[in-house]
Amino acid sequence: MTATQSLPVETAHSVAPLEGARWDLLVVGGGTAGIVAAKTAAGFGASVLLVERDRTGGDCLWTGCVPSKALLTAAHAAADARSASRYGVNVSGVAVDFAEVMVHVRRAITTIEPTDSPAALRAAGVHVAHGTAHLTGPQTARVGDSIVGFAQALLASGAAPTIPPIPGLTDASPWTSETIWSLPALPTRLLVLGGGSIGCELGQAFARLGTAVTVVEAAPRLLPREDPDAAALITQTLAADGVTVRTGATVTAVTAISGRAPGWRAELADGTEVVFDEVLVAVGRRPRTTGLGLDRAGVAVDGRGFVQVNARLQTANPRIWAAGDLTGHPPFTHTAGVHASLAAGNAVLGLRRTVDVATIPRVTFTQPEVAAVGVSAEQAGPQSGLMVRTIQHAEVDRAITEGHVAGFSRLILDRKGRVVGATIVGPRAGESLPEVVLAARHGLRARDLAAATHAYPTYSDGVWKAGIDHVQHQLHEPGMRRVTSALRTVRRAWLAR
């Protein structure tokens, strides 16, 4: 395309030129946040241009949630087959065909892809342009060779993996969450740098598929943001899967090993080393702001480079909004979607809705899963006035029937017994989480959870029993003694009638 040509933008009904157009909402980025914002605003009748430089669908569809969960499904299937003899079912000859595993991963992506496609966006009334957007002023942007105007804009360019500056690391051609999906074969020895959610999920997946995995984490434990008991359980499970877990450890250099057994050597700060063939880096993510033109548009960033937004998701330029990983809010697809929808409404309808970051759920999809919301047990220290009620899954009948008792359901409650946080560890723990998210969002109390009938036998019995446990504790508190003694009198009178 030459400088004099304007980039065509296709709609469901027409092909309109971009140059000179003024849109009610310009959306930069076609990942979850961009797609949801664009569809929401178009649904409100706004003229919306979404600009995506690569593929609509973003990280979640192509390199994040979808491929990682598909890979984990295959890995868990292999592990379940290997361990089926504990139920008296003998499965022999379990073999992993990595090429077929990747076919399954790609099939999951292609099945979901139409929902996020340009065609689906156009059907929702969104104008889609393929190209890179750069802000050129407070209300203008360059898209390809065209300058477009906007009344409002929403930035949703996401975040990308960082590669730490470890000497020699780039020589080993490190994989990241963006590239690992094109691995040609199952690695023999995989070093995973980073023991957060992504490192633990992918580390467990590759270990269960047959790779010798070492996870190196600088913090004293895996999943540093989660409940320490949850982290301990995941560490045990990974060890049982054959993963070597090195916490409180940092890699200082990477060097090539030549000779008859080539590979790579990672030197650790404590003088030990890890030998590997492939390395996956999962140590953090940086916002995609390079070339966005934030300065020209008057958009400010925080100390880590994430776009600063207020509670209404407005940037320092009141006509420009931001949502998703770019903002440094908890980096999840559900955050991106919910925040983008809210920001789009604020942008095109002038609403003043604000985000609630206190009750954003998070799930690490290892086996067992770690699902959590709100305040953690660590924050609920003795000075906090918060109460912790825990039910070990050895007391949950569904866990017993399935032989998965290594887990727990934990509620964090304020002085009035209201749910302010929870951690659940167990199979499909993420499926038990919405109940406590709802409770935390709406100030429900443990007694409300206890009063709701839960289907038996389910893992959500754990949350229910934690609620009942709290009610029983309350009955033994000094203020309640007169009530319980009165109840005893009533009971005696009833039984003696």
Q: Shortest Cβ distance from residue 456 to ligand FAD (Å)?
A: 29
Q: How far is CA 230 from CA 218, 226, 417, in A?
A: 18, 7, 23
Residue with tokens 């030549």: 258
Q: Quick count: other Cβ atoms within 10 Å of Cβ 214?
A: 21
157 token code pair: 């360019």
SS3 138: coil
Complex with ligand FAD: residue 133 or 412, whichever CB lies closer:
133
Q: Which stretch binds ligand FAD (CB under 6 A): 26-34, 113-121, 352-360, 468-476?
A: 26-34
Between CA 382 and CA 389 the distance in angstroms is 14
Shortest distance, position 181 Cβ to ligand FAD, whole Å? 9
- Shortest Cβ distance from residue 421 to ligand FAD (Å)? 19
When binding is defined by CB under 6 A, the residue of 287, 324, 417, 462 that contacts ligand FAD is 324
Tell me which of 223, 336, 371, 450 binds ligand FAD, using CB under 6 A.
336
Q: What's the CA gap between 469 and 477, in Å, rounded?
A: 13
Binding to ligand FAD by residue 332, rule CB under 6 A?
yes
**Smallest distance, Å, CB 420 to ligand FAD?**
22
Strands 263-268 and 251-257: antiparallel
Please name which of 459, 466, 450, 453 lies closest in space to residue 400, comparing C-alpha atoms. Answer: 459
Q: Which residue in 318, 367, 29 sits closest to 203, CA to CA? A: 367
Q: Which stretch binds ligand FAD (CB under 6 A): 12-20, 30-38, 213-221, 257-265?
A: 30-38
Q: Which is nearer to ligand FAD, 294 or 396 (CB)?
A: 294
Cβ(408)–Cβ(462) below 8 Å = yes
Of 6, 47, 68, 117, the one binding ligand FAD (CB under 6 A) is 68
- Applying CB under 6 A, does 398 fall inside the site for ligand FAD? no
The yes or no reply on residue 306 touching ligand FAD (CB under 6 A) is no
State the nearest-atom distance from the C-beta of 54 to ligand FAD, in Å.
4
Relative to beta strand 146-155, strand 320-322 is parallel
Interactions with ligand FAD, residue window 265-294 (CB under 6 A): 288, 292
Q: How many residues bind ligand FAD (CB under 6 A)?
A: 37
Q: State which of residues 142, 296, 319, 334 lies at the interface with ligand FAD (CB under 6 A).
A: 334
Between CA 57 and CA 32 the distance in angstroms is: 6
**Sheet (strand 362-364) strand order:** 362-364, 369-374, 419-426, 408-413, 387-392
Selected from 314, 333, 367, 409, the binder of ligand FAD by CB under 6 A is 333
Angle at 236 between CA 267 and CA 373, to 5 degrees: 100
Q: Which residue, 64 or 407, has its beta carbon nearer to ligand FAD?
A: 64
User: 329 CB contacts (<8 Å, ≥6 apart)?
Assistant: 335, 339, 355, 357, 360
**How far, CA to CA in Å, does 214 sit from each of 217, 222, 251?**
10, 12, 12
**Smallest separation, CB 68 to ligand FAD (Å):** 4
Q: Residues, the chain, total?
A: 497
Residues from 349 through 368 that contact ligand FAD (CB under 6 A): 365
Shortest reach from residue 364's CB to ligand FAD, in Å: 8
Within residues 35-54, the interface with ligand FAD by CB under 6 A covers 51-54
Q: Does the footprint of ligand FAD cover residue 34 (CB under 6 A)?
A: yes
| Residues contacting residue 251 through CB under 8 Å, at least 6 positions apart | 166, 169, 193, 216, 266, 267, 268, 269, 274
Closer to ligand FAD by Cβ: residue 323 or 399: 323
- Stretch binding ligand FAD (CB under 6 A), from 111-119, 155-163, 242-250, 472-480: 155-163
Query: Site for ligand FAD (CB under 6 A): which residue of 49, 133, 419, 439?
Result: 133
Of 371 and 413, nearer to ligand FAD (C-beta) is 371
Residue 196 makes contact with ligand FAD by CB under 6 A? no
CA dist., res. 484 & res. 496, Å (int): 18
Cα(206)–Cα(145) distance, integer angstroms: 44
**Residue 369 interacts with ligand FAD (CB under 6 A): yes or no:** no
Smallest gap from Cβ 360 to ligand FAD, in A, equals 10
Decide if residue 132 touches ligand FAD (CB under 6 A).
yes
Q: Does 177 bind ligand FAD (CB under 6 A)?
A: yes
Are residues 279 and 273 in contact, defined by beta-carbon separation less than 8 angstroms?
Answer: no
Query: Which single residue is written with the structure tokens 């030197």?
Result: 267
Contact region for ligand FAD (CB under 6 A) — 60-68, 118-126, 224-232, 440-448? 60-68
Candidates 9, 26, 49, 59: give the one binding ligand FAD (CB under 6 A): 59
Q: What are phi and psi of 374, to 5 degrees?
A: 65, -145
- Phi, psi (5° rounding) for residue 180? -60, -20
| Least distance (Å) between residue 390 CB and ligand FAD | 25
Distance in angstroms (rounded) separating the CA atoms of residues 168 and 163: 12
Residue 152 near residue 144 (C-beta atoms within 8 A):
no
For residues 52 and 435, which CB has a smaller minimum distance to ligand FAD in the complex?
A: 52
Q: What is d(CA 155, CA 34) in angstroms, rounded to the nearest whole number?
A: 8
Q: Which of 58, 174, 194, 417 binds ligand FAD (CB under 6 A)?
A: 58
Contact residues for ligand FAD (CB under 6 A)? 28-34, 51-54, 58-60, 63-65, 68-69, 132-133, 156-158, 177, 198, 288, 292, 324-326, 331-334, 336, 365
